[in-house]
């Protein structure tokens, strides 16, 4: 296990290094002048431009800039506008503070949104999927299957405003207005404020997980070992939960890992719809403000999450499937 | 169609007739009622997009004129339609857009046109890329396989949404100075480029696997022994065999590109005013739902119908190619 983790972590570091290099290159080499981009759509005088260029550190060749960036991550770095301690993911000139500080400020929102939402869609999705597979062909199965088909084709940018219009700003306010209150300050308000975003985020995921759980469970129930177990007289429930259920976990864990990884990098559309101050909104804000250092930092952080959860998923395989050996 | 009638005639004549895999697939597809219906719905959307100018002309409105501002009596002093349900009447079938007072029906038609154009372009480009790189990796093997597979791994680790959002403005700077307004065609091209860049890997990986297994098959070996060049083997032996995974996967890809492009417009980084776009209508809807909830229904419901139909079509195409799948 330890050797596996070590090897995978090394691979992850390599991937992250390449991603950072590619992103850095695309950000700072493709635009004819990144400083112009940072100036935005206004008129930037040549003097201001020179200041921006110097602040961004782009008056040097790109490989040198990248080297400085990498050194900054491990050893910290000094900018004309201030000091950025290690691990320095860059320095934002819009608000004059290290990028990492802002990311850490925004992280609790994204984490709260993801954990709550994931809990809802995992329980509901697997539950509905199991029900539908257990009673395959029944009315219940048909209702669950069609509902999940339609809901999985929903988009958060339609469902979110719709839910807000009907459930919050409608004639009868059913849900409290979505907002982020730190859990440590007001646990109850935290719950209230995130309830609707959780449900909206979870609706589409629930539909997908229902379909997936149903499909893999039905596939598993057709396996030979399941038939054998039934033939030798094991009850349907035992076979269902002990054999089929366990076999269907692997594809679900894979997708769940991928989903969690990308959600921790920022649930962009959900955060944007409910104006929650998370990483996804931070990314959108940075794009509209052309804040390249911030974008670079968020990008690296999100990539880290994806890579991290890939490793966790692979480690989980060994726990679920005894045939898998980590080496 | 001609091949199908031939097949039917052959059946009447009750003599043995060889059928190509394409004919077999078409026959199976026609028997799938859900598949045919959803295929018709999808076709309808494409026809609506294609003939949007014609329909708009017959209907007598266009998506740019601000009817509500030009003509008194349509919008109230806050810019919302005076008539109930978003101003729906015999003249404006889907009502008026709050604020600008544009006709929603033509706006949606032209919006579907823009979205489908983008999605179609991305699908074609991504499929071609996947064929070239996937088949090259699988068939050539060795160093090529290593590099292309690593490229796929790398691109898969990129945070997708973040990549799209972050790189759109950067791609745009390739064409125009960041200080000037970005013309619409540049926005369309940038969206196509970013979606394409991260849109081909899934299919590419599938095609690599297919090519890899086909390479070892007897008919390829026979062709090679009889002196066929690599190019001829790829063209005559491999490509006809990757058609079915390609067709199935692109049917799943296209609606994804539609919704992703719409998400970008919703976040305000994709297509912007005044170009009509399916996704942009959601961002308008998110601003006006407090007072006019009707507006969001038309883009929202039409998009759900479109995605559901496309997903069902994808399932039907998959089943038609592979009669073994159980639903």
Let me know whether A72 and A125 are in one domain.
no
A10 inside domain: no
Q: What is the mean pLDDT of residues A212-227?
A: 89
Q: How far apart are CA A305 and CA B181, in angstroms?
A: 35
Q: How far apart are CA A6 and CA B59, in angstroms?
A: 66
Q: How far apart are CA B277 and CA A139, in angstroms?
A: 39
| Phi, psi of B57, rounded to the nearest 5 degrees | -65, -45
Let me know whether A208 and A108 are in one domain.
yes
Structure tokens at A201: 């985020």
Task: Give the confidence band of A63 by pLDDT, cuts at 50, 70, 90.
Answer: confident
Which distant-in-sequence residues (6+ apart) come within 8 Å of B147 by Cβ?
none
pLDDT of A320 higher than 70: yes
Instruction: Out of A72, A98, A124, pick the residue that ends a domain.
Output: A98
Burial state string for A19-31 with b = 16 or more CB within 10 A and e = fewer than 16: bbeebbebbbbeb
A243 dihedral zone (left: phi>0; alpha: psi -120 to 50; beta): alpha
Let me know whether A112 and A89 are in one domain.
no
Q: Could you tell me which residue, B8 or A259, shows the higher pLDDT?
A: A259
Q: Which residue has the tokens 């031939």?
A: B6
A166 touches chain B (CB under 8 A): yes
Burial state string for A281-309 with b = 16 or more CB within 10 A and e = fewer than 16: bbbbbbbeebbbbbbbbbbbbbbbbbbbb
Q: What is the mean pLDDT of residues B306-318?
A: 91
Task: Give the confidence band of B305 by pLDDT, cuts at 50, 70, 90.
Answer: very high
Q: How far apart are CA B305 and CA A246, in angstroms?
A: 35
Let me know whether A306 and A159 are in one domain.
yes
Q: Could you tell me the CATH number of the domain that includes residue A230?
A: 1.10.3720.10
A5 inside domain: no
A6 inside domain: no
Residue B17, pLDDT score: 76
Q: Are B271 and B116 in contact (CB under 8 A)?
A: no
Task: Give the confidence band of B193 by pLDDT, cuts at 50, 70, 90.
Answer: very high
Residue B83, pLDDT score: 80
Domain ranges, residue A204 = 100-324
B245 dihedral zone (left: phi>0; alpha: psi -120 to 50; beta): alpha
Give burial (CB, 10 Å; 0-12/13-18/19+) of B24: middle
Let me know whether A184 and A51 are in one domain.
no
Distances (CA, A) of B182 to B98, B174, B196, B275: 25, 11, 20, 12
Taking only the tens place, the pLDDT of each residue in B199-216 is 999 999 999 999 988 888
Q: Alpha helices, DSSP H only, in B51-98? A: 52-59, 67-70, 84-87
Let me know whether A150 and A91 are in one domain.
no
Which of B171, B181, B311 has the CB atom closest to A153's CB atom?
B311
**Percent of the residues in chain A that have a pLDDT greater than 90, as a whole number:** 28
A1 inside domain: no
Q: What is the mean pLDDT of residues A225-244?
A: 86
Let me know whether A94 and A243 are in one domain.
no
Query: Under an 8 A CB cutoff, do B158 and A155 touch?
Result: no
Query: Under an 8 A CB cutoff, do A283 and B165 touch?
Result: yes
Which distant-in-sequence residues (6+ apart) come within 8 Å of A110 by Cβ?
A263, A264, A265, A266, A267, A271, A278, A279, A280
Instruction: Out of A98, A116, A135, pick the residue that ends a domain.
Output: A98
Taking only the tens place, the pLDDT of each residue in B224-244 is 899 888 889 888 888 888 888
- CB contacts under 8 A, B 168-197 vs A, are 168-171, 173-174, 177-179, 181
Taking only the tens place, the pLDDT of each residue in A16-36 is 899 899 888 888 877 766 666
Task: Give the confidence band of B95 by pLDDT, cuts at 50, 70, 90.
Answer: confident
A2 inside domain: no
Q: Are A325 and A318 in contact (CB under 8 A)?
A: yes
Let me know whether A77 and A114 are in one domain.
no
DSSP run (H or E) holding A82:
strand A82-84
Let me know whether A23 and A151 are in one domain.
no
Residue B18, pLDDT score: 77
A80 inside domain: yes
Question: Structural domain tally of chain A?
Answer: 2
Residue B6, pLDDT score: 53
Long-range contacts of B262-266 (CB under 8 A, 24+ apart): B262/A155, B262/A157, B262/B115, B262/B303, B263/A155, B263/A157, B263/A268, B263/A269, B263/B161, B264/B164, B264/B165, B264/B168, B264/B191, B266/A157, B266/A269, B266/A272
Q: Could you tell me which residue, B28 or A59, shows the higher pLDDT?
A: B28
Q: Are A261 and A305 in contact (CB under 8 A)?
A: yes
B269 neighbourhood in chain A, CB within 8 Å: 284, 287-288
Best mutation site among B108, B157, B159 for testing chain A: the one with the most A CBs within 10 Å? Answer: B159
Q: What is the mean pLDDT of residues A207-230?
A: 89
Q: Are B258 and B115 in contact (CB under 8 A)?
A: yes
Query: Under an 8 A CB cutoff, do B268 and A43 touch?
Result: no
pLDDT of A221 higher than 50: yes
Q: Give the closest residue to B89 by CA, choosing from B105, B78, B76, B65.
A: B105
Residue A79, pLDDT score: 75
Summary mean pLDDT of chain A: 85
B160 touches chain A (CB under 8 A): yes
Let me know whether A148 and A289 are in one domain.
yes
pLDDT of A203 higher than 70: yes
Residue A186, pLDDT score: 86
pLDDT of B15 higher than 70: no
Taking only the tens place, the pLDDT of each residue in A260-269 is 988 988 789 9
Residue A30, pLDDT score: 73
Taking only the tens place, the pLDDT of each residue in A276-299 is 999 999 999 888 887 888 888 999
Summary mean pLDDT of chain B: 86
| Phi, psi of B192, rounded to the nearest 5 degrees | -60, -45
Structure tokens at A96: 């004059």
Query: Under an 8 A CB cutoff, do B167 and A153 touch?
Result: no
Handedness of CA A228, A231, A233, A237 (dihedral sign): positive
Q: Are B113 and B107 in contact (CB under 8 A)?
A: no
Closest chain B residue to the Cα of A14, Cα to Cα: B154
CA geometry: angle at B138 spanning B133 and B144, to 5°? 65
Taking only the tens place, the pLDDT of each residue in B125-157 is 999 999 999 999 998 888 999 999 989 988 888
Q: How far apart are CA A93 and CA B76, in angstroms?
A: 44
Q: Are A233 and A215 in contact (CB under 8 A)?
A: no
Taking only the tens place, the pLDDT of each residue in B65-86 is 888 888 877 788 777 888 877 7
Q: How far apart are CA B19 and CA B23, in angstroms?
A: 6
Q: Is B60 helix (H, G, I), strand (E, B) or coil?
A: coil
Count of CB atoms situated within 10 Å of the CB of B62: 16
A145 neighbourhood in chain B, CB within 8 Å: none
Q: How far apart are CA B292 and CA B72, in angstroms?
A: 19
Which of A150, A222, A280 has the CB atom closest to B308's CB atom?
A150
Q: Could you tell me which residue, B4 or B156, shows the higher pLDDT?
A: B156
Structure tokens at A60: 């040097």
- CB contacts under 8 A, A 2-61 vs B, are 15, 18-19, 22, 26-27, 30-33, 36-37, 39-44
Let me know whether A94 and A111 are in one domain.
no
Q: Is A321 helix (H, G, I), strand (E, B) or coil?
A: coil
Taking only the tens place, the pLDDT of each residue in B279-294 is 999 998 888 888 888 8
Query: Under an 8 A CB cutoff, do B169 and A40 touch?
Result: no
Instruction: Out of A56, A79, A98, pick the residue that ends a domain.
Output: A98
B322: closest CA of chain A, how far (Å) = 16
Let me know whether A106 and A93 are in one domain.
no
Q: Is B316 helix (H, G, I), strand (E, B) or coil?
A: helix
Q: Would the pTM of this model clear 0.90, i.e. be above it? A: no
A90 dihedral zone (left: phi>0; alpha: psi -120 to 50; beta): left
Q: How far apart are CA B279 and CA B285, in angstroms?
A: 10
Long-range contacts of A61-64 (CB under 8 A, 24+ apart): A62/A24, A62/A25, A62/A28, A62/A29
A3 inside domain: no
Q: How far apart are CA A66 and CA A28, in angstroms?
A: 10
Closest chain A residue to the Cα of B299, Cα to Cα: A158
End-to-end CA distance of chain B: 27
A8 inside domain: no
């Amino acid at each position: 296990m330890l050797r596996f983790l070590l090897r995978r972590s090394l691979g992850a570091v390599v991937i992250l290094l390449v991603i950072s290099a590619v992103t850095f290159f695309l950000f700072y080499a493709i635009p004819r002048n990144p400083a112009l981009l940072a100036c935005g759509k206004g008129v930037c005088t040549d003097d201001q431009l020179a200041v921006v260029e110097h602040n961004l550190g782009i008056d040097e060749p790109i490989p040198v800039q990248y080297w400085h960036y990498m050194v900054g991550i491990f050893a910290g770095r000094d900018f004309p506008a201030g000091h950025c301690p290690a691990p320095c993911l860059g320095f934002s000139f819009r608000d004059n503070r290290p990028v990492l500080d802002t990311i850490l400020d925004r992280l609790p929102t994204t984490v709260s949104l993801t954990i709550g939402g994931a809990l809802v869609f995992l329980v509901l999705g697997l539950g509905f999927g199991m029900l539908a597979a257990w009673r395959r062909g029944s009315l219940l199965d048909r209702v669950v299957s069609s509902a999940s088909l339609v809901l999985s084709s929903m988009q958060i940018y339609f469902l979110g405003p719709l839910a807000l219009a009907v459930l919050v700003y409608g004639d009868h306010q059913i849900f409290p207005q979505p907002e982020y209150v730190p859990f440590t300050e007001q646990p109850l308000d935290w719950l209230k404020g995130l309830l609707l975003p959780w449900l909206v985020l979870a609706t589409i995921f629930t539909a997908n997980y229902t379909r997936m759980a149903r499909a893999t469970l039905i596939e598993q129930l057709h396996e030979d070992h399941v038939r054998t177990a039934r033939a030798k007289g094991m009850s349907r429930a035992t076979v269902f939960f002990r054999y089929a259920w366990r076999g269907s976990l692997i594809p679900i864990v894979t997708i769940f890992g991928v989903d969690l990884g990308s959600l921790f990098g920022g649930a962009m559309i959900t955060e944007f719809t409910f104006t929650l101050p998370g990483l996804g909104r931070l990314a959108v804000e940075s794009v509209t403000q052309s804040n390249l250092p911030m974008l670079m930092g968020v990008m690296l952080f999100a990539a880290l999450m994806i890579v991290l959860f890939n490793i966790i998923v692979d480690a989980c395989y060994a726990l679920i499937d005894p045939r898998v050996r980590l080496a | 169609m001609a091949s199908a009638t031939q097949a039917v005639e052959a059946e009447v004549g009750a003599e043995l007739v060889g059928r190509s895999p394409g004919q077999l697939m078409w026959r199976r597809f026609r028997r799938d009622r859900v598949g045919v219906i959803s295929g018709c719905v999808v076709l309808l959307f494409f026809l609506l997009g294609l003939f949007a100018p014609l329909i708009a002309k017959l209907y007598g409105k266009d998506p740019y004129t601000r009817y509500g501002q030009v003509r008194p009596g349509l919008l109230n002093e806050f810019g919302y339609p005076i008539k109930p349900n978003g101003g729906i009447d015999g003249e404006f079938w889907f009502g008026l857009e709050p604020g600008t007072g544009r006709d929603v029906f033509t706006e949606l038609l032209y919006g579907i046109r823009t979205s489908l154009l983008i999605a179609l372009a991305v699908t074609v480009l991504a499929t071609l890329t996947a064929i070239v790189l996937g088949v090259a990796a699988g068939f050539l093997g060795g160093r090529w396989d290593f590099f292309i597979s690593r490229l796929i791994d790398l691109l898969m680790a990129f945070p997708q949404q973040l990549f799209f959002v972050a790189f759109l403005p950067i791609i745009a700077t390739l064409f125009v100075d960041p200080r000037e307004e970005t013309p619409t065609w540049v926005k369309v091209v940038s969206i196509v480029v970013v979606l394409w860049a991260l849109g081909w890997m899934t299919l590419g990986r599938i095609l690599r696997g297919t090519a890899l297994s086909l390479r070892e098959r007897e008919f390829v070996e026979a062709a090679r022994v009889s002196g066929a060049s690599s190019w001829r083997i790829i063209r005559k032996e491999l490509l006809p065999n990757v058609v079915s995974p390609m067709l199935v996967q692109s049917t799943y890809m296209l609606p994804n590109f539609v919704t992703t492009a719409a998400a970008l417009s919703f976040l305000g980084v994709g297509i912007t005013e005044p170009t009509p776009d399916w996704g942009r209508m959601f961002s308008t809807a998110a601003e006006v739902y407090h007072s006019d909830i009707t507006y969001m229904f038309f883009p929202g419901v039409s998009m759900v119908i479109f995605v559901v139909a496309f997903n069902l079509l994808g399932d039907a195409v998959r089943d038609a190619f592979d009669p073994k799948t159980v639903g």
